[in-house]
Structure 1
Amino acid sequence: MSRANAKVARAAALKNHWDGPVDGPRLAKKKKIVFIASDMGDAGISGLYNGVKEAGAGAGWWVLTINCGGRCNQGAAIVSQALEMKPDGIILAGVDASTQAKGLAAAAEAKVPVVGWHASTRSGATDGLFTNITTNPKDVAQIAALYGVVESNSKGGIIVFADNSNAYSQAKSNAIIEIIKQCEGCRLLGVEDISAADAPSRMQGVVEGLTKRYGAKWNQAIGVNDVYFDLMEKPAIAALMAANKVQCLSAGDGSNSAYKRIRSNTLQIGTVPEPLYMHGWQIVDELNRAFAGVAPSGYVTPVHLVTSQNIAYDGGPKNYFDPANDYRGQYQKFWAK
């Protein structure tokens, strides 16, 4: 428990120090970018898109979108479709790069750089990408699970909401389960594999079944994404959760609704959000490095935990994680050289 508390405290610390790149090429002008979204209905993907648009606006970057609606990984032609739009660069957001090998090979042949976001479980140049921007899924999941252990005083009766439709979410699911199994007093009641795309149609039936099966034994839910708890705000589901006083926490991505729930102490007690706007700015920087023929920055953002104790900081009043580390000014400083 002491080690768990120490890890949770580090993750919850203020993120007001810039630890990213301090040098890079001047920002190129008027680039056409295709943003391939796994699902624009996902708060993480839409936040990232807004960050990319914001970062590139000053240089006249034009961002076009392809929205897969949660089905990108079922077809291998999506990158090839993007190439038909004659872009200067491509962003693969939440799409498993391993399912797009043929398209990525075509992009490499056409000398069109592809930057991923959660396109692999690994960060950096991997799976045919110029670079992949991601926090370590195992680290994210461990912090969410450890916070659950701490808050339940090692007595949680836990349901894990997993998403095995992509490698990144699956890695988070596995890491959450691993931590729970190490907690002697915790009970892993079950694992519900529900993709983000299927969650809207399935959540009410799943929660009804869980409350009937476990009753008061179920007192904690840990999800790989806030989407499950966003959907639990529906009155019929919220009533079921309230009856059991279930504590909910998430290993990503820090939705607007999640912040509101944590602040009001309604249903959700924590989330491990992504700095979506900052990742958008990093994507623009990484694409710009590719255009200039230099190596990726190699920057990986540290894990952050949001609770009611620190929600007033690092973008919390705006209901999303926006580190107070002056990342916009830091990038603009060397982009304008």
Structure 2
Amino acid sequence: MHRNGKADAGVLTTRHAATALLVAAATLLAGCERGSTSDTADAITTGPSGCPEAHARAQAAVKQAEKTDIPWDGPTSGPTAVPGKTIVYVAQTMTNPGVAGAAQGVRNAAAVIGWNVRVIDGGGTPAGIQAAMSEAVTLKPAGIVIGGFDPNSTSQQVSRANAAGIPLIGWHAVATPGPSKKPRLFTNVTTRVDDVSAISARWIIAHSNGHAGVVIITDASILFARSKSELIKKELATCAGVKLLAYENIPIPDASNRTPRQISSLLSRFQGRWTHSAAINDLYFADAAPAFRAAGKPGSGPPFNIGAGDGDPSAFQRINSKQYQAATVPEPLNLQGWQIVDEFNRAFSGRPASGYVAPVHITTAANSHGATSWDPSGYRAAYRKIWGIVGH
């Protein structure tokens, strides 16, 4: 859905050839500078790509990821609903929109299957998360969700839960989806971090025609986030015309305080060389917006900002209104909440994890259709059928 400028296919006359060569030379010198902005805030760049082969691969991948008519490809069979369960969702911090969105998805699915849910907020600090996990284990629920933090940071509490036979399910808890032996998790619900990272970087490559100056923002205290940002950096390096300007570590709990200052400093340092950004979470761009605005940067970019998760409603609003975010790679948060409940139901029934992993998706103003979340079709009906629940 990205529209790049294309050279006229007609044959240039001799009189126009010199002009064309001058334009091409100017384009090369311009490097990362955009030509203009379309309705979808795309950078229209003329001239040769900064990395033809990587650029072609990126364009194909982005086109696929932007599709919205994706049929349900998750489980269609499994155990019927086990009644009367209570599960606890331990949140890294409910100020993280992805963590909060997944929690709401769990609540929504639990209401359908007939379970009780309690959410305990760890507040984003090691001590708070450990206290929340201790409380969760003490409550002796049927299951515990590890919502967005590294289980190794609460190893004692995880061991107590394992010893008590309480199944643990992670949401973005470890770097890969599926069951985990160390730490012992029944399963971990997430998109594949390498897929999310790759498509975020490829969007930048495709969007910039292979000419970009990039800032990456991460939270190195979260294993999942750190892995994601490192993989983004690795994929960007496949394009010679893309330059990594800065790699910023801003812990999510400190984002509201630190992000504006860091953005102002980066704008002063790099000025027009900074054309694109990738952050491991959309919330950074909410905190960055005042600094961009104060510097006189247009909401539609540059810099053109993509969030490599989690696709919360405020990110969609920024994208739809073209206010300092051009794209996101959203997690299907409500779907993942339903998946967590289904995975617990499998655990309670003595069945293995489903193995389902949602495919990556890119949302822009061109394909969001005004929505405020990425909510694929088909999963509600599929899970209701699996659980043996009819009606609405």
TM-score, normalization: structure 2? Answer: 0.81
Structure 2 matches for 1:136-215, cutoff 5 A?
136-215=192-271
Offset, 1:130:
0.7
What residue in structure 2 maps to residue 101 of structure 1?
155
Distance 1:258 1:29 in 2: 36
Distance 2:127 2:326 in 1: 32
* SS of structure 1 residue aligned to 2:217: strand
Q: Does 1:333 align with 2:385?
A: yes
Distance 1:4 1:242 in 2: 27
Distance 2:100 2:81 in 1: 23
* SS of structure 2 residue aligned to 1:252: coil
* SS of structure 2 residue aligned to 1:116: strand
Distance 2:130 2:120 in 1: 14
Structure 2 matches for 1:199-278, cutoff 5 A?
199-234=255-290, 236-240=291-295, 242=297, 245-278=302-335
Q: How many residues align?
A: 331
Please provide the CA RMSD for this pair. Answer: 1.7
Maintained 8 Å contact 1:221/1:249:
yes
Distance 1:75 1:19 in 2: 34
CA deviation profile, 1:228-285 (whole Å, cap 9, x unmatched) = 1111233x44232616731111111012122122222332111000000000000000
Identity percentage over the alignment? Answer: 38
Listed as ranges, the gaps of 5+ residues in structure 1 are none
* SS of structure 2 residue aligned to 1:197: helix
Q: Which has the larger radius of gyration?
A: 2
Offset, 1:179:
1.6
The 1:320–1:30 alpha-carbon spacing in structure 2 relative to 1, beyond 3 Å, is same
The amino acid of 1:45's aligned partner reads V
6-15 vs 137-146, which moves further: 6-15
The amino acid of 1:90's aligned partner reads I
Distance 1:140 1:32 in 2: 32
The amino acid of 2:221's aligned partner reads S
Distance 1:232 1:255 in 2: 16
The amino acid of 2:349's aligned partner reads A
Maintained 8 Å contact 2:101/2:334:
yes
Correspondence for 2:116 among 59, 62, 86: 62
* SS of structure 1 residue aligned to 2:346: helix
Distance 2:231 2:385 in 1: 38
Listed as ranges, the gaps of 5+ residues in structure 2 are 1-54
What residue in structure 2 maps to residue 282 of structure 1?
339
Offset, 1:92:
0.5
* SS of structure 1 residue aligned to 2:106: helix
Maintained 8 Å contact 1:38/1:93:
yes
Structure 2 matches for 1:6-85, cutoff 5 A?
6-72=60-126, 76=130, 78-85=132-139
